[in-house]
Amino acid sequence: MRQLLVVGNWKMNGSRASINSLLDDLLSAPAVAGTEVAVCPTYVHLPQVLELCASSAIAVGAQDCSHMQSGAYTGEVAAVMLSEMGCRWVILGHSERRQYHAESDALVAAKVAVAVEAGLQPIVCVGETREQREAGEAQSVVSAQLQGALKGQVNLDSLVVAYEPVWAIGTGLTATPQQAQDMHECIRGCLEGIEGIDAQATRLLYGGSVKADNAAQLFAQPDIDGALVGGAALKAADFKSIIAAA
């Protein structure tokens, strides 16, 4: 039985004041039994969020990490620094990193390796563009991303994969529950073929305009084990409703 996981990806949003009020609201809600929750703020907000969530059921993650262990990499943050601070999760290969920072599957693979070695649990994001879906390439694109990021890795027991169709991120367009389920089934099949991964135990999250009113239908699909939530994670009421739907 896979435990549901709901992760808030705050992206480049938030101030000390807005985060205090968002967490004040989230932390006052009782934990939902059987559902794991995490939030991923910017690097600079991590100390504040870690402190506020310290004795709560909400875990904390980062939105990225360097592919290198340490050294002369100006502007980068090492996975081991994040785990030492108390982060449990790290989002890797988000489509915005692939799009605006030219991250390749090989770079994502290097990040997965250092993250796992540092004791972080990676959330590896995959997803096709609208053009790729229209060309009938969605499944082959996603399979290639998975192979590129995960093949040859060791110790992927804590792996989580997030399927985020690029055309659904921040657009208000959501994959239908059936489209999402079909892709999640394909992802699980692809993971079966990668050595060292227990595909049945690996949690697969859906991401892309998840909201309070579509979350329950998505979570009802057999291969959808939770959500990676962007915009709706910035509003306490919306995020709480998504968690409740799980």
Nearer to ligand PGA, 169 or 197 (CB): 169
Rounded Cα gap, residues 96 and 184, in angstroms: 21
Shortest Cβ distance from residue 70 to ligand PGA (Å)?
28
Q: Does 90 bind ligand PGA (CB under 6 A)?
A: no
- CA dihedral 98→115→40→177, nearest 10 degrees, is 60
Q: How far is Cα 41 from Cα 62, in angstroms, rounded to an integer? A: 6
Provide the β-strand partners of residue 162.
Answer: 125, 205
Q: Which is nearer to ligand PGA, 164 or 223 (CB)?
A: 164
Q: Minimum CB separation from ligand PGA for residue 133, in Å?
A: 16
For the chain, the distance separating the N- and C-terminal CA atoms, rounded to the nearest angstrom, is 14
How many whole angstroms separate alpha carbon 108 and alpha carbon 194?
16
**How many other C-beta atoms lie within 10 A of the C-beta of residue 12?**
8
**How far is it, in rounded angstroms, from Cα 196 to Cα 180?**
25
Catalytic residue among 45, 94, 103, 184: 94
Does 195 participate in catalysis according to the annotation? no
- CB-wise, 80 or 89, nearer to ligand PGA? 89
Q: Could you confirm whether 67 is annotated as catalytic?
A: no
Per-residue string for binding with ligand PGA, 185-224, x by CB under 6 A?
A: ----------------------xxxx--------------
Q: Which residues bind ligand PGA (CB under 6 A)?
A: 9, 164, 169-170, 207-210, 228-232
Write out the catalytic residue numbers.
94, 164
